Amino acid sequence: MWFQMFLCRDRNMTIDLALRAKRSGFRALVLTVDYPTASLKYHDIKSQYNYVYPIVNYNPYNVSELNNFVAKDCIWKDIQWLKETTGLPIVIKGILTAEDARLAVDNGADAILVSNHGGRQLDGSPATLEALPEIVKEVGREIDVYMDGGVRTGADVFKALAIGAKVVFVGRPVCWGLVCNGSDGVKQVLDILHNELDNYMTIAGTPTVGDITRNHVRYVNDYRNHLKSIL
């Protein structure tokens, strides 16, 4: 089990939460770094939707809204501080460039989760599948690189694994399954993804996940360069 968290304005609150997670059996911290504040969502403003996050883990601190406690003054050295203070591995979630991946690793990150927050934070941010190659190239030999965002089919999982993701995380489909049929719905969603991936691997001639390589995907530029060489 991994505990996803933010750096809080009150650093004592950050450590308290992290150590509570550790005592509860969590074995790593997933530190989200792409949420210094909520993004403007005009359709929600128009509909007067109220973003309130009644997060049980934060109830002892009388916190109900993320913007009231998420730190806006984070620095890279906070990674090493959190790691040393808690004794837990730190996975950095929200990295989209090779430069930031390098900074995260140089400052103590044990793994990186390539994520764009579901595309809900910054308009124009790259799709995670587009950002993945440069990050894998930069730090993939040193630490594990994971990916989430936009994963809807087993084919999506295959592509991410081929580009170099060690693990592919799934968000919204799991939520849909949970809403439709509780834990059974979640299991059904995961079963669908597993069956699709198995089918895709069979057709692609990859008996095991270890057989999936970068040679199994090709980008648009690859085709363009191939066409130029023919012409």
User: Annotated catalytic residue: which of 117, 194, 216, 226?
Assistant: 117
147: which strand partners?
Answer: 114, 168
C-beta neighbour count of 16 within 10 angstroms: 14
> Is the dihedral angle over the CA atoms 164, 116, 168, 6 positive or is it negative?
positive
Cβ atoms of 167 and 135 closer than 8 Å:
no
- Known catalytic residue at 226: no
Sign of the alpha-carbon torsion through 153, 3, 58, 96: negative
Strands lying side by side in the sheet with 90-95? 2-5, 28-32, 90-95, 111-114, 144-147, 167-168
Looking at the annotation, which residues are catalytic? 117
